[in-house]
Amino acid sequence: MTIRHFLDIASHSPATLRAILDEAHRLKANGRGRLDLLPGRTLAMLFEQVSTRTRFSFDLAMRELGGDTIIASGGEMQLGRGETLGDTAAVLSRYVDAIMIRMLDHEGLVAFAEEASVPVINGLTRRSHPCQILADIMTIEERLGPIEARTVAWVGDGNNVAATFVEAARRLGFRFKIATPVEYDLAEDVVTAAKADGSKLEVGRDPYWAVKDADVVVTDTWTSMGDVDEDRRRSILTPFRVDDALMAAAAPGAIFLHCLPAHRGDEVTDSVMDGPQSAVFDEAENRVHAQKAVLAWCFRAID
Ligand code: CP
Ligand code: NVA
């Protein structure tokens, strides 16, 4: 039987993504009590990079589904002393029932999954953050109804989270407008794949153009994990700050999302983060529900 890895959005069908999202909404409606969906199952969580939300929300999700977790950082494992990813994947597959891993190198994650004989879940790479985008879509649907009818505007760095939104727009058919400076564009292959699919991706440079008619305005840090040019990024990306004036140029009733951690005063002002259009803390909470649904799918508790 094929192992159900969850490494990105693009490799899953619209039907699978819809099933996971529907399960996430259902699990949230059921409340936060303990379910016995995955009794006796253990999830290993490996972090080569720091995390607050991914770490806590996966841990809670697995426990609330009746399972258990083991958490380790790369530096405290033999990985840090040169044991290969492949050997690590093979060994952990003998101990646990699924592995969530955060590592910058996306190809490394794919190679790890190839050697694992249990499901592997992407907890963020330089290229993709699929669990985040499921929580984002869940938040949009809670506030605004089905995602298919919505326009999402991204303003700022064309980073891993932006690229994952593009994949979701390809699969789920919503309109995605993105304004980035030329220096920090989306990766070329991300745009090429979206265009080949005929998806509703629109790429520009002007934040005001991007948010026009948008139901959702999204941004993210200007300096992602692994980026080194923080000062240069700040000076180039400053015109892309999300402030009250930019939010006012979006569609009436538009919401603001940010995967967090936010750098208040850089990519977003306090007044937007804490204002009436902000859904960022629902978005963070929804990581728990969305990841429960991902775990349920990986363990074949849903189709
Ligand atoms: N949004 C997100 O993945 O946050 P963490 O880096 O805290 O996990
Ligand atoms: N783009 C950010 C997201 C953090 C959750 C990063 O990769 O650091």
Looking at residue 230, what is its pLDDT?
A: 97
| Domain 14-129+287-298 CATH assignment equals 3.40.50.1370 | yes
Ligand 2: residue of 224, 268, 291 to mutate (most ligand atoms within 8 A of CB) is 224
Looking at residue 228, what is its pLDDT?
A: 94
Query: What pTM does this model have?
Result: 0.98
CA-proximal residue: ligand 1, atom 4 (nearest): 53
Looking at residue 245, what is its pLDDT?
A: 98
Ligand at minimal distance from the CA of 184 is 2
Q: Which atom of ligand 2 is nearest to the CA of 160?
A: 1
Looking at residue 75, what is its pLDDT?
A: 86
Mean pLDDT by 10 residues, the chain (303 residues): 96 98 97 91 97 98 98 90 94 98 97 98 98 98 97 98 98 98 98 93 98 98 97 98 98 98 98 98 98 98 92
CA-proximal residue: ligand 2, atom 6 (nearest): 224
Looking at residue 18, what is its pLDDT?
A: 98
Q: Is the fold of 14-129+287-298 the same as that of 132-283?
A: yes
Both tokens of 24, joined, read 């996430």
Looking at residue 221, what is its pLDDT?
A: 98
Looking at residue 1, what is its pLDDT?
A: 85
CA-proximal residue: ligand 2, atom 2 (nearest): 224
Looking at residue 74, what is its pLDDT?
A: 83
Ligand 1: residue of 45, 51, 263, 267 to mutate (most ligand atoms within 8 A of CB) is 51
- What are the boundaries of each domain within the chain? 14-129+287-298, 132-283
The answer to whether the CB of 159 is under 6 A from ligand 2 is: yes
Looking at residue 253, what is its pLDDT?
A: 96
Looking at residue 277, what is its pLDDT?
A: 98
287 is catalytic: yes
Residues touching ligand 1 (Cβ under 6 Å) are: 51-54, 124, 132, 259-261
Q: Which CATH number fits domain 132-283: 3.30.70.600, 3.30.1280.10, 3.40.50.1370, 3.40.47.10?
A: 3.40.50.1370
3-state secondary structure the chain: CCCCCECCCCCCCHHHHHHHHHHHHHHHHHCCCCCCCCCCCEEEEEECCCCCHHHHHHHHHHHHCCCEEEEEEHHHCHHHHCCCHHHHHHHHHHHCCEEEEECCCHHHHHHHHHHCCCCEEECCCCCCCHHHHHHHHHHHHHHHCCHHHCEEEEECCCCHHHHHHHHHHHHHCCEEEEECCHHHCCCHHHHHHHHHCCCCEEEECCHHHHHCCCCEEEECCCCCCCCCCHHHHHHHHHHHCECHHHHHCCCCCCEEEECCCCCECCCECHHHHCCCCECHHHHHHHHHHHHHHHHHHHCCCCC
* Active-site pick, 55, 287, 289, 298: 287
291 is catalytic: no
